[in-house]
């Protein structure tokens, strides 16, 4: 299939009461793990590349990998830019064939975030690309985007209402207690805040930093209307954990395929579990 936009997968998810996983990819094996999981689970899927992934793998490589994967799959696939903070880079992603982009203006004052997000939307819409934005600050560290925990601020529902109305954005990432990376303790999500945001807006809601969030909390978030769930760290841990195990057990191995094939399978297993947890399995 050709790449689809966020609305093509999040619209049915909102109606059907489930969420679609947005999985971060940095290399070929992880792209393959995500696509094979989606096909085997009959699930729509969002494959996303961060600025760090683009820096590592190269924009053309990422696009070619995901397009090839999507063309050979019979489930809907979105190619999405994750946390694009640089306007020029967001434009480059659009030009190179991403079907969706995130413009992350969460460090900007509200007015400037609205202004910049609207600029991106005007251009993206003209060429059929969807846009996710962020309001509030999600804690933790992810690639080039680092927010001090003390600066991590939850999304104000009133601001979310204004932001959604003024921009008409396709999806909105909110801060309700999740953080990027490995949690030090158990994350506590602010569900009343999520509920209030859903009451005041009709924009699809995105949960970032979802690795390590207990399954029950994820189920509750989906019940309250979260329709895109971002997972990176859980994939990294599954992939690298298996790779490390392989090297411990086979210290003399010099064949990268023998290391990467089980690492890919380990990533695929966790991705499939997430698709079942989010309720997207069987929906494509
Ligand atoms: O944008 C990507 C995510 O928010 C991933 O967060 O690494 O905590 O799963 P995570
Ligand atoms: Zn994120």
pLDDT tens sequence across 44-68 = 999 999 999 999 999 999 999 999 9
Q: At what angle do helices 157-167 and 110-126 cross, to 10 degrees?
A: 30
Please tell me the predicted confidence (pLDDT) of residue 202: 96
Please tell me the predicted confidence (pLDDT) of residue 150: 41
User: What value does the mean pLDDT take over residues 271-277?
Assistant: 98
Rounded to an integer, what is the distance from CA 18 to the centroid of its chain?
A: 15
142 falls in which pLDDT band (50, 70, 90)? low
User: What value does the mean pLDDT take over residues 145-174?
Assistant: 84
Please tell me the predicted confidence (pLDDT) of residue 57: 97
Helix (H) or strand (E) holding 7: helix 6-16
* Average pLDDT, rounded, for the chain: 95
Contact 171, 228 (CB under 8 A): yes
Task: Locate the ligand 1 atom nearest the alpha carbon of residue 210 and give its number.
Answer: 9
Helix (H) or strand (E) holding 71: helix 59-71
**Phi and psi at residue 209, to the nearest 5°:** 60, 40
**Phi and psi at residue 180, to the nearest 5°:** -75, 145
70 falls in which pLDDT band (50, 70, 90)? very high
Contact 193, 157 (CB under 8 A): yes
Query: Which ranges constitute the DSSP H helices of 72-189?
Result: 87-95, 110-126, 157-167
Please tell me the predicted confidence (pLDDT) of residue 141: 53
According to CATH, the topology of domain 6-233+269-278 is TIM Barrel (3.20.20)
Closest listed residue to residue 33, CA positions, set 251, 250, 219, 270: 270
Contact 174, 194 (CB under 8 A): yes
| Distance of CA 229 from the midpoint of ligand 1 (Å) | 9
Q: Is 82 part of the annotated catalytic residue set?
A: yes
Asked if the model's pLDDT at residue 152 lies above 60, the reply is no
Contact 209, 171 (CB under 8 A): no
| Distance of CA 178 from the midpoint of ligand 1 (Å) | 9
Please tell me the predicted confidence (pLDDT) of residue 164: 98
Which residue lies with its CA nearest to atom 4 of ligand 1?
A: 208
List pLDDT tens digits, range 177-213.
999 999 988 899 999 999 999 999 999 999 999 999 9
Asked if the model's pLDDT at residue 126 lies above 90, the reply is yes
d(CA 48, CA 98): 9
For a pocket test of ligand 1, which of 180, 207, 221, 274 has the largest count of ligand atoms closer than 8 A to its C-beta?
180
d(CA 10, CA 20): 7
Percent of all residues in the chain with a pLDDT value above 70, rounded to a whole number: 95
147 falls in which pLDDT band (50, 70, 90)? very low
List pLDDT tens digits, range 224-270.
999 999 999 999 999 999 999 999 999 999 999 999 999 999 999 99
User: What value does the mean pLDDT take over residues 100-125?
Assistant: 98
Please tell me the predicted confidence (pLDDT) of residue 143: 53
Retrieve residue 49's tokens: 């590349």
Q: What region, left, alpha or beta, does residue 84 occupy, with left being phi > 0 and alpha being psi -120 to 50 degrees?
A: beta
Contact 170, 131 (CB under 8 A): yes
Lowest-pLDDT range of 64-78, 147-161, 228-242: 147-161
Asked if the model's pLDDT at residue 28 lies above 80, the reply is yes
From 82, 104, 170, 232, the catalytic residue? 82
Asked if the model's pLDDT at residue 18 lies above 50, the reply is yes
If one compares 153 and 99, the residue with the highest pLDDT of the two is 99
């Amino acid at each position: 299939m050709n790449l689809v936009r966020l609305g093509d997968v999040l619209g049915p998810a909102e109606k059907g009461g489930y969420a679609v996983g947005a999985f971060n990819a940095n290399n070929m094996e992880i792209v393959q793990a995500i696509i094979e999981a989606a096909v085997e689970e009959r699930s729509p899927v969002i494959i996303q590349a961060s600025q760090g992934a683009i820096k590592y793998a190269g924009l053309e490589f990422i696009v070619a990998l995901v397009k090839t994967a999507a063309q050979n799959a019979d489930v809907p696939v979105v190619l999405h830019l994750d946390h694009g903070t640089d306007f020029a880079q967001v434009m480059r992603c659009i030009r190179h064939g991403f079907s969706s982009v995130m413009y992350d203006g969460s460090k900007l004052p509200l007015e400037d975030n609205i202004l910049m997000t609207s600029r991106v939307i005007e251009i993206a819409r003209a060429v059929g690309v969807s846009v996710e934005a962020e309001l509030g600050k999600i804690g933790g560290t992810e690639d080039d985007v680092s927010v001090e925990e003390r600066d991590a601020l939850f999304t104000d529902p009133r601001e979310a209402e204004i932001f959604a109305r003024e921009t008409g954005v396709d999806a909105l990432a909110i801060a309700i207690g999740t953080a990027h990376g490995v949690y030090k303790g158990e994350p506590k999500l602010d569900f009343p805040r999520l509920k209030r945001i859903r009451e005041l807006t009709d924009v699809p809601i995105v949960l970032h930093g979802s690795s390590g969030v207990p399954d029950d909390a994820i189920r509750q978030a989906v019940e309250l209307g979260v329709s895109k769930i971002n997972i990176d760290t859980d994939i990294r841990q599954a992939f690298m954990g298996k790779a490390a195990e392989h090297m411990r057990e086979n210290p003399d191995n010099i064949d990268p395929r023998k290391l990467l094939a089980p690492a890919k399978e380990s990533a695929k297993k966790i991705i499939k579990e997430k698709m079942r947890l989010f309720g997207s399995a069987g929906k494509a």
